[in-house]
A and B are shown apart, each in its own frame.
Chain A
Amino acid sequence: MSNSNFIEFSKPFIEAAKNVFETMVFTKLEPGKPQVKKDSTSCGDVSAVLGLSGVVSKNGEDKNYRAMLVMSFPYETYLKVAGAMLMEEYTEFNEEIRDVGGEITNMIMGNAKRELGGMGYTSNMAIPSIIEGKSHTIKYPNSSTVILIPIKCAHGEMFIEICYAEED
């Protein structure tokens, strides 16, 4: 298992996230220092999870890879982000705003996909899912490395996780 392409792979997601939040949530993101995540407990209360798989072609060699994008929000941030996107005020998590996180990850992944294509990655997106509740568990693909990037914005803090693994 090689994760040597991890850093290169994760950059388009951060750029795409900045673009999506500026355009649709009307706020600028300030990404903090990336760190390796060692457990599978969520950092936020609402997590949007989106899987990605494909083939990476580097130096004439093709390798299958699997990846995952997670955006995890404390309730307070999630309500404010949903409110800004939908131009409403929300005081509690409900069905109406359940797919906000999914739509955000969908847009980020869609944007990142173009950049990744230029870098030699083909990619197939899965359908986003939402996990909600204090300290929930996120199931990452086996033997993958998870990078956690804390993010600050005017609506509060949130966390982007990018998980990537190449198959030998």
Chain B
Amino acid sequence: MALKANMKILVIDDMATMRKIIKNMLGQIGFTNITEADDGATGLPMIEDAAKTDEPYEFIVSDWNMPQMTGLDLLKHLRATDEFKALPFLMITAEAEQGNVVIAVKAGVSNFIVKPFSAQVLKEKIDKIFNK
């Protein structure tokens, strides 16, 4: 794997099931340093706090629909700062409508994945993000 296995990844989803599936898939791909958050509202301070240490998050995988802070709001929040302007951000959504892709791209998403997806598709999306 070209990417380092210990890249620090934050998986954000309000459904525990989905967090576990994504973690399993990332593990299958070869990643080992994965933490979880259950909402954009809990994920944001984790990203901000980690940035003050010598181990900042290097990759965010976030669901779109979450009750408190959506993935889109989180993305917009991050992109509005210099610090997180280029933080790789993969958005996951259950809704396959074309309009969603446009909204996410405009907000600065690194890539986009529609549920259901396989570990292979996840790997391809990650490769695209980091091999640009």
Interface residue ranges, A against B (CB under 8 Å): 19-20, 23-24, 82, 85-87, 96-97, 99-100, 102-103, 106-107, 109-111, 113-114, 117, 125
Contact = CB atoms under 8 A, between A and B. Distances in A.
Interface string B6-33: 0000000001111011001000000000
A111 B115 CA distance: 8
B94 interface: yes
A103 B15 CA distance: 7
Given A87-B24, A110-B94, A111-B115, 7 more contacts: A23-B117, A24-B117, A100-B17, A107-B116, A109-B94, A110-B114, A111-B96
Contacts of A86: 17, 20-21, 24
5 contacts: A24-B21, A85-B21, A97-B17, A102-B17, A125-B95
Contact of A96 (B16, B94, B117): B16
A19 B17 contact: no
Contacts of A109: 94
Chain A residues touching B, majority SS: helix
B93 interface: yes
A86 B22 CA distance: 9
B18 A103 contact: yes
B83 to A, nearest CB: 32
Interface residues of B, number: 17
A25 to B, nearest CB: 9
B115 A102 contact: no
B1 to A, nearest CB: 20
Contacts of B16: 96, 99
A86 B19 CA distance: 10
